[in-house]
């Protein structure tokens, strides 16, 4: 292996590791945010009444939906990156870890 190849391999491993760590956190954030939205939905089985006193509820729901959109965008991007990096880490265990994370990203 040339030095350049070794550097590329190290960079790919470092980048993949970083994405995996962030992806794990993002997936948990997605679970937590979805759970919070379901809780709100449960609190208002007939829908949230459109009254002024519920202003903060609507803002909260909007913020959580925005968070979900952001998380989805990131996870899609990171999944694509992990797929691309998988063949460049040249380490069977690492490849397996990457594939595990890819499979967990919806």
Partner 1 sequence: MTFPMMFRRFRLRTGLLGVQSGQKTLASADTSTTVTITAVLKEKSILFFNYSSASAALSANINEVRGVLTNTTTITFDRGANGADITINWWVIEFEPGTPITIQHLAAQATSSTENVSISAVDLAHTFPICTCITSASVGTGKATVKADFTSTVNCQLSFESINNTFYGLQVITHQDWDVDVYTDSAASGDTTEDTPLSPSITLAETMLFGYAIFSVTGNPTADEWFNFGFTAVNNIQAVRTTSGKAANFTYYAVKTNGKIACQHDVSETIAGGNSVGNTAFAAVTIANTPVIVNNMANSVGNNSTNNTTTGEAVRLRSIMNSTTNCRTERAAADASTNIHSLSLYDFTNA
- Contact between 80 and partner 1 by CB under 8 A: the answer reads yes
Q: Which of 63, 65, 64, 105 is nearest to 81 (CA)?
A: 105
DSSP codes, 35-59: HHHHHHHHH-TT----SGGGHHHHH
CB of 93 to partner 1, least distance (A): 21
Interface mask (CB under 8 A) for partner 1, residues 47-66, using x and -? --------------------
Q: How many angstroms separate the CA atoms of 3 and 12, rounded? A: 14
Helices in the chain by DSSP H: which ranges? 3-43, 55-86, 92-104
Nearer of residues 70 and 91 to partner 1, judged by Cβ:
70
Q: List all residues 6 or more positions away from 26 whose beta carbon is below 8 Å from its beta carbon.
A: 71, 74, 75, 78
- Contact between 78 and partner 1 by CB under 8 A: the answer reads yes
- Contact between 73 and partner 1 by CB under 8 A: the answer reads yes
- Contact between 6 and partner 1 by CB under 8 A: the answer reads no
CB of 59 to partner 1, least distance (A): 13
Residues at the site binding partner 1, with contacts judged by CB under 8 A: 15, 18-19, 21-23, 25-26, 29, 67, 70-71, 73-74, 77-78, 80-81, 83-85, 88
């Amino acid at each position: 292996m040339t030095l350049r190849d070794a550097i590329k391999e190290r960079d790919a491993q470092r980048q993949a590791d970083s994405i995996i760590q962030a992806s794990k956190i993002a997936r948990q954030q997605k679970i937590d945010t979805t759970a919070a939205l379901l809780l709100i939905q449960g609190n208002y089985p007939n829908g949230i009444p459109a009254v002024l006193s519920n202003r903060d509820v609507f803002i909260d729901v909007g913020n959580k939906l925005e968070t979900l959109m952001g998380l989805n965008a990131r996870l899609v991007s990171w999944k694509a990156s992990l797929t691309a990096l998988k063949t460049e880490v040249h380490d069977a265990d690492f490849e397996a870890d990457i594939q595990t994370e890819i499979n967990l990203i919806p």
